[in-house]
Amino acid sequence: MEKGEIVCRAHTLASHFGREPFNSWHKKGFDLHLLQSGRKRDPRAPEAPTLYEVLEEFKVADGKRRVAQALLSGGEFGRPVLVTPGTPPERVKILRDSLRSVVSDPELLAEAKKSRMDVEYTAGEELEALLKEVLSQPPEVVEQARKILGN
C-alpha cells in the first residue's frame, strides 16, 4: 500500500485498529474505509456504511442480498467458542453463562485494553440464530454463491 503497488486491501476492522502500520495510516490520513461487511456499523469507522445499508439504499433484490449474506457473514461470527453437536442444552447454558461472565469481568477488560486487544462479546443465542439464518439459503442462492467462489 505505502509503496503504491496496490490501492485497496480488505480485512477485518478488528485486525485493522490498534496495530501498525494502521495506527500511522490513520494519523496521516493515508487510509479510507469504504465498506463494512457486518450488519452493525463499527464505531471506529463511522464513515463507512455497512454492506446491508448499501443493499438497502440501492433496493437490491432479496436473492442477491442472500448471496451477499452467505458469502460475507463469516466476519460476523468473530472468534466463536464451539462445542460438538449433541452437547446437552444444560451444559451449553453453563458454558454460555460462564463465557458471558468472563468477558464482562472488569479486570479482564482492563488488561485487554492495556494490551490493545478487542473484547467483543456476542451472545451464543444470537450467533446460533445467525448461523441458522446463513445456512438456510435456498438452492438458487447456494448455486450463485458457488459460481462466485468458482466451485
Per-residue pLDDT tens digits of the chain, which is 151 residues long: 778 887 787 777 777 877 888 888 888 888 888 888 888 888 888 999 999 999 999 999 999 999 998 898 887 888 888 999 999 999 999 999 999 999 999 999 999 989 878 888 999 999 999 999 999 999 999 999 999 999 7
Q: Within a 13 Å sphere around the CA of 64, how many CA atoms are in the beta-carbon half?
A: 9
Q: Within a 13 Å sphere around the CA of 82, how many CA atoms are in the beta-carbon half?
A: 8
CA–CA separation, 49 and 42 (whole Å): 9
Identify the sign of the CA torsion 79, 85, 87, 89. positive
Task: Answer for the pair 71, 55: CB distance below 8 angstroms, yes or no.
Answer: no
Look at residue 139 in the predicted model and tell me its pLDDT: 95
Look at residue 29 in the predicted model and tell me its pLDDT: 84
Nearest to 145 by CA among 65, 78, 52: 65
Look at residue 115 in the predicted model and tell me its pLDDT: 85
Maximum pairwise Cα distance, the chain = 54
Look at residue 75 in the predicted model and tell me its pLDDT: 79
Kindly report the length of the chain. 151
The contacts of residue 95 (CB under 8 Å, 6+ apart) are 81, 83, 124
DSSP letter for 28, please. H
| Predicted TM-score (pTM) above 0.85 | no
Look at residue 64 in the predicted model and tell me its pLDDT: 94
Look at residue 62 in the predicted model and tell me its pLDDT: 93
